[in-house]
Amino acid sequence: MADFDYDVLVIGAGPGGYVAAIRAAQLGLKTACAESRETLGGTCLNVGCIPSKAMLHASEFYEAAASGEMNKMGVKVQPELDLDAMQAQRLETVKGLTGGIEYLFKKNKVDWLKGRASFVDAHTVEVAGKQVKAKNVVIATGSSVTPLPGVTIDNDGGVVVDSTGALELASVPKKMVVIGGGVIGLELGSVWRRLGSEVTVVEFLDQLLPGMDGEVRKEAGKLFKKQGMALKLSTKVTGVAVNGKSATVTVEPSAGGAAETLEADVVLVSIGRRPNVDGLALDKIGIAVNGRGQIETDHDFATKVPGVWAIGDVIPGPMLAHKAEDEGIAVAENIAGLTGIVNHDVIPGVVYTFPEIAGVGLTEEAAKEKGAIKVGKFPMMANSRAKTNHEPDGFVKVIADAATDKVLGVWCIASVAGTMIAQAAQAMEFGATSEDIAYTCHAHPTHSEAIKEAAMAVKGKPIHI
């Protein structure tokens, strides 16, 4: 340690970085974490996972009351929206959780270096004008919104916004156009639709949610339409003109054709995110990013420069908080000389709409390309708990290898799909067959029984359909 201030310096305090820092400190390494934001927790806690779920949860209550859903269950209410209060509870939640990371840093003796970090050399990083030397540096700088060429995002103006601006709107837009029918567009589009906006989603491809199972994508499209979202699939945006407090969005078919215009009070740009590497001075340490702007690493999360590691959204793989967190634990363990592993074949993904949409492993399309498969399906309509709760939409699909019966992928659309998918991920991590799931006793009445019945359908028949 003689020449170093720290064993480990982590750049970025998002779910990748703060978890890596805490685990490194737990393993006895002297650790610091540089963060340029005012608060810890990164995109996820400040402007991502947590505030979006705060708004999704609150708006779900509002819609259940406003749509008459609660009245149907004998709870008579006439709701009144207090958007300021809804926003205040979002901010309160964020404050609590980001403050919690500050507490964990103190508890684990992780030094928080406040400021933007940039490399001087592979073991020297400048933070707020001060040089810090570390034996190991972990790059965990995350990602930011991908801009749409020709479209200026102005969150303060509140007309053309990214996800951060869309979380903070001061009033419910009458009309909202969402550019990009991916995870952010559907989650935040759902929030404002539930609160009263007319939402139109413009998606370049012929289905929503690229990367998910084909049947799930189709069903998701049907459900969002049924909820009142207008979907313009196979459509591209060619221009956005801001006229004071509103905007005109020009769109045309992705394959070319006649243009049309859409009027909006708010336009949300959600066409993906790109890694944060600007200002890191990676050139000084000889790291070049790949064609997608990502830093490449090996399975241990080591870059090609000894002592420099990278994790989370800034490296290849799904841009998900839990993927970043697991990589944070693994990189710290690898630095400490232990064996840190992340199984990138089993990373669940969840869209927190209503119903939730979740998957883990291969899609049916990808599994078919690899060999013969068997698929079992079960509709939520036939699940007693979903039916009791008036949540009939969705299904579960279990995809297994035809020869070995090993589970290759599980997909769910269900009110609590995000919770259900954990058991599928665990089963796959343990190398389970569909029979293993089918013969596991599931508590009744639970939504998870639909996973058991879909697994039963792989080789035989479920009971309840």
Please measure the distance between the N-terminal and C-terminal CA atoms of the chain and give it in whole angstroms.
Answer: 65
Cα 152 from Cα 328, distance rounded (Å)? 34
By rule CB under 6 A, what count of residues binds ligand FAD? 36
361 is known to lie in a ligand binding site: no
Cα 201 from Cα 230, distance rounded (Å)? 6
Minimum CB distance to ligand FAD smaller for 48 or for 180: 48
Say if CB 312 and CB 142 are below 8 A apart.
Answer: yes
Q: Burial, 348: exposed, middle or buried (Cβ in 10 Å; 0-12, 13-18, 19+)?
A: buried
The residue whose two tokens read 């007309």 is 159
Name the residue with the smallest CB distance to ligand FAD. Answer: 142
* Minimum CB distance to ligand NAI, residue 201 (Å): 9
Minimum CB distance to ligand NAI smaller for 272 or for 445: 272
Cα 152 from Cα 457, distance rounded (Å)? 50
**356 in contact with ligand FAD (CB under 6 A):** no
Cα 168 from Cα 90, distance rounded (Å)? 9
Residue 409's contacts (CB-CB under 8 Å, 6 or more residues apart) are 213, 359, 360, 361, 362, 363, 364, 366, 367, 397, 398, 399
Q: How many CB atoms lie within 10 A of CB 85?
A: 10
Which of 8, 117, 335, 400 touches ligand FAD by CB under 6 A? 117
* Minimum CB distance to ligand NAI, residue 210 (Å): 5
Dihedral (C-alpha) 104, 109, 110, 115: value to the nearest 10 degrees?
A: 100
Residue 251, binding choice from ligand NAI, ligand FAD, none, Cβ under 5 to 8 Å by partner class: none
Query: Where do the H-state alpha helices sit in 264-401?
Result: 321-335, 364-370, 384-388
Catalytic residue among 123, 299, 444, 447: 444
Minimum CB distance to ligand NAI smaller for 184 or for 360: 184
Residue 203, binding choice from ligand FAD, ligand NAI, none, Cβ under 5 to 8 Å by partner class: ligand NAI
Stretch binding ligand FAD (CB under 6 A), from 71-79, 138-146, 173-181, 396-404: 138-146
Minimum CB distance to ligand FAD smaller for 322 or for 368: 322
180 is known to lie in a ligand binding site: yes
Please give the biggest Cα pair distance in the chain.
70
307 is known to lie in a ligand binding site: no
186 is known to lie in a ligand binding site: yes
418 is known to lie in a ligand binding site: no
Cα 366 from Cα 385, distance rounded (Å)? 31
> In this structure, what token pair is assigned to residue 250?
């020009």
Name the residue with the smallest CB distance to ligand NAI. Answer: 182
Say if CB 324 and CB 287 are below 8 A apart.
Answer: no
Cα 346 from Cα 326, distance rounded (Å)? 12
327 is known to lie in a ligand binding site: no
189 is known to lie in a ligand binding site: no
Nearest to 286 by CA among 440, 119, 85, 47: 119
Say if CB 450 and CB 412 are below 8 A apart.
Answer: yes
Which of 31, 59, 143, 190 touches ligand FAD by CB under 6 A? 143
> What residues from 151 to 210 belong to the interface with ligand FAD (CB under 6 A)?
163, 184
Q: Burial, 376: exposed, middle or buried (Cβ in 10 Å; 0-12, 13-18, 19+)?
A: buried
Residue 16, binding choice from ligand FAD, ligand NAI, none, Cβ under 5 to 8 Å by partner class: ligand FAD
Give the H/E segment covering residue 166: helix 163-167
Minimum CB distance to ligand FAD smaller for 36 or for 207: 36
Minimum CB distance to ligand FAD smaller for 184 or for 240: 184
Residues 300-339: x where in contact with ligand FAD by CB under 6 A, - otherwise, as a string: ------------xx-----xxxx-x---------------
> What residues from 32 to 61 belong to the interface with ligand FAD (CB under 6 A)?
34-37, 42-44, 48-49, 52
Residue 236, binding choice from ligand FAD, ligand NAI, none, Cβ under 5 to 8 Å by partner class: ligand NAI
Which of 7, 9, 10, 14 touches ligand FAD by CB under 6 A? 14
344 counts as catalytic? no
Look at phi and psi of residue 49 and say left if phi exceeds 0, alpha if psi is from -120 to 50, else beta: alpha
> In this structure, what token pair is assigned to residue 167?
């979380």
> What residues from 243 to 302 belong to the interface with ligand FAD (CB under 6 A)?
276, 279-280
What residue ranges bind ligand NAI (CB under 6 A)?
A: 148, 179-185, 187, 202-205, 210, 236-237, 270-273, 318-320, 350-352
Residue 310, binding choice from ligand FAD, ligand NAI, none, Cβ under 5 to 8 Å by partner class: none
Active site residues: 444
Binding residues for FAD: 53, 141-143, 313, 319-322
Sites of contact with ligand FAD (CB under 6 A): 11-17, 34-37, 42-44, 48-49, 52, 116-117, 140-143, 163, 184, 276, 279-280, 312-313, 319-322, 324, 352
Binding residues for NAD(+): 180-187, 203, 272
